[in-house]
Structure 1
Amino acid sequence: MSVADLPKVELHLHHEGAAPPAFIKQLAHEKNVDLSKIFDANGGYAFRDFVHFLSTYEDATSVLTGPEEFARLTTAILEESAKNGVVYTESFISPDFCGGGDVGAWREYLAAIQEAANAAEAKHGITLRGVVTAVRHFGADKSKTTAHCAAETAGDFVTGFGMGGDEGQFTQGTFSYAFDQAKEAGLQLTTHAGEFGGPESVWDAIKDLNVERIGHGVRSLEDPALVKELVARQITLEVCPGSNVVLGLFPDFASHPIQKLRDAGVKVTVSTDDPPFFHTTMRREYEELSRAFGWDASDFAELNQTALDAAFCDADTKAKVAKRLEQV
């Protein structure tokens, strides 16, 4: 069995960002919406840089206007993930795109997503959990509304709270109220940092938001003291190598710091971020990492165990997923 065929755990996947281009094109056709500008000549998503990527992302989500579309989207995402051997995934889902922050509407969207996820688990053997996500560049007030939605629906399916978006907008501490609100509701915490923001953004995430995981975090390697802090606190990084390469943080997989972070004792995991945007899959991530660093099945087994330990789900779910990982 090649490493690409191994069962996998993924912790960093944006729900809307995992929408296949063909799926968004079909929805746009059904709604008679012209989204031609967001696609390239090959039918993929087109963007120039990170800020333009965010714009393209939000344009793509514009045709996702109701619970039924999100149910269809969830089915499409989980079918694709299952094809790539993923047996457990957590996706970032934002009430901003699911009802505009209204709790009642958010519950309807969430019910549709859960129903589709349950059907996918029965059919494909893949488990989904939701990490409710604030959008950083939408500001602090919006994040409080998002946290309220998260707190009101915390439970077996909604198990975490996080933040994505433009790291150049505001500071981590700007959102401390929302993160405190989510934590009080029993949700586990993560936030994007150390991607386009430097090591200081990771320090801020740790000190101001008290998170258990960091989305990306790859620029932590620039600060040896921070690396030691991540090890001491046992904070897990949700690393997305393919995303980092496409967005220009590193020229190729061989230049990516995941190996050095791992060697330093930092807990690292592997995810795809927004796979169709970055022309990647979990199979490709495994293949490229194996090619770049010589990782074999035992390396990926260790990474998956790290991911499962850090997953925002209960012990029974972890035990179920652990059995799937053993089926090699």
Structure 2
Amino acid sequence: MKELPKVELHLHLEGAAPPAFVRGMAAEKREDISGIFDDRGAYHYKDFWDFLKVYEAATSVLRTPDDYRRLTLAVLEESAAAGVVYSECFLSPDFCGGRDVAAWKDYLAAIRDAADQAERSMGITLRGIITCIRHFGPDKARETAICAAETAGDWVVGFGIAGDEKVLAPKDFLWSFDCAREAGLRITAHAGEWQGPQGIRDTLAALNPERLGHGVRAIEDLALVDELAERGTVLEVCPGSNVALGLYPNFRAHPINELDRRGVKVTVSTDDPPFFHSTMVREYEELHRAFDWDEGQFAKIAKASLDAAFCDADTKARIAKKLEA
């Protein structure tokens, strides 16, 4: 599984920070965030909403562009070791410069510098999707969208929304998504994780995304499953995340196989891998054990992921050669 070339579309940069990296950053800044770790040094949380608090506490020690340069290198080293050749990660100006455009550009330059270094030394290509935080509210989302629009281009390729699905409605963020779309950014949105099928329908109606982060609870409404298949909406599925957070009891109970069987375009990602004790290798191994997915199925998933990637055609052609190899 490690040797199979992989494409990952749903990865939160801060959420991929190894615990040891965060502890090191906290020590450098003389900050005590020991309460977010368990006795073994792993991240510790009770449920999804506690996870959001732990995530933000871990992110609080990342305060400078150089911190994010180092973080990006650490994350890409983990991804490359798992066989990932192309990755799209979610970046939030909320955490990178407080949504100030000038400060955000400094953070982005540091992240891009690290990505370029990783591509040269590790062979992994990274692109960014700017993400507003739903529970921070529409006004802050507008500021995030402006940051995204000001830096849209060959590297910042998408715009999305993450955070607590049970707060506010997708339509409340329409201005931000219109702003991003006018800047040429492709659209994804978290939905169908902590709200059921209606949350997905509301997201499709208000934001018209090409991709959905998670989207797995569509399985509770087979008419919606058929609609997703007909629309060609791509699901950024993170099985290990869903199992770790208690959405499903185990991989065998996860709906990814049934969604795929019913014609929905599914991809595989890790979401926030160290929080969920996962890697892309583990995701593949568990899917093989649960559904007997073989090399041919994983090649199909990788191709579908690359087809759904937001990068330009030249980048896709270059990554396609790696998948074929």
Give TM-score scaled by structure 1 length.
0.98
2:303 to 299, 305, 309: 305
- Asked whether the equivalents of residues 244 and 250 of structure 1 are also in contact (C-alpha less than 8 Å), the reply is yes
AA partner of residue 211 (structure 1): P
Pairs within 5 Å for 1:38-187: 38-187=36-185
Post-superposition shift, 1:224?
1.3
Q: CA deviation at 1:140?
A: 0.3
Q: Tell whether the 8 Å contact from 1:4 to 1:287 is kept in structure 2 after alignment.
A: no
Shift of 1:4: 3.6
Q: Spell out, residue by residue over 1:125-156, the C-alpha distance to the aligned partner (whole angstroms, 9 max, x if none).
A: 10000000000000000111000000000001
Question: Counterparts in 2 of 1:190-229, with a 5 A limit?
Answer: 190-229=188-227
| SS of corresponding position for 2:248 | coil
> For residues 17 and 261 of structure 1, what CA distance do their matches in structure 2 show?
26
The unaligned stretches of length 5 or more in structure 1 are none
Render the CA deviation track for 1:133-186: whole Å, top value 9, x for unaligned: 000000000111000000000001100000100111001111111001100100
User: Once the two structures are superposed, what CA deviation does each residue of 1:58-117 show, in whole Å capped at 9, x if it has no partner?
Assistant: 000000001000000000000000000000000000000000000000000000000000
The alignment covers a number of residue pairs equal to 325
Are 1:318 and 2:303 counterparts?
no
The amino acid that maps onto 2:52 is: L
Deviation at 1:306, TM superposition (A): 0.5
1:70 counterpart letter in structure 2: Y
In the alignment, structure 1 residue 292 sits paired with structure 2 residue 290: yes
Q: Which amino acid aligns with 2:21?
A: F
Which residue is 1:7 aligned to? 5
The Cα shift of 1:5 comes to 2.4
Report deviation, 1:242: 0.2
SS of residue paired to 2:39: coil
Segments ≥4 residues shifted beyond 2 Å: none
- DSSP-derived class of the 2:75 partner: helix
SS in 2 for 1:244: helix
- SS for the counterpart of 1:129 is strand
Report if the CA contact (8 A) 1:193-1:215 is conserved: yes
d(CA) in 2 for partners of 1:123 and 1:288? Answer: 29
**Identity percentage over the alignment?**
62
TM-superposed CA distance for 1:325, in Å, is: 1.1
Match of 1:279 in 2: 277
Show the 5 A alignment for 1:21-36: 21-36=19-34
Letter in 2 for 1:45: Y
Q: Provide the TM-score with structure 2 as the length reference.
A: 0.99
Contact residue 134 and residue 162 of structure 1 kept, 8 A:
yes
**C-alpha distance in structure 1 between counterparts of 2:285 and 2:237, whole Å:** 15
AA aligned to 2:212 is: I
Q: Which amino acid in the other structure matches residue 103 of structure 1?
A: V
SS at match of 2:168: coil
Instruction: Name the residue aligned to 1:238.
Output: 236
Task: Give the counterpart letter for 1:57 in structure 2.
Answer: Y
Question: Distance in 1 between the 2:282 and 2:321 partners?
Answer: 24
Superposed CA RMSD in Å reads 0.5
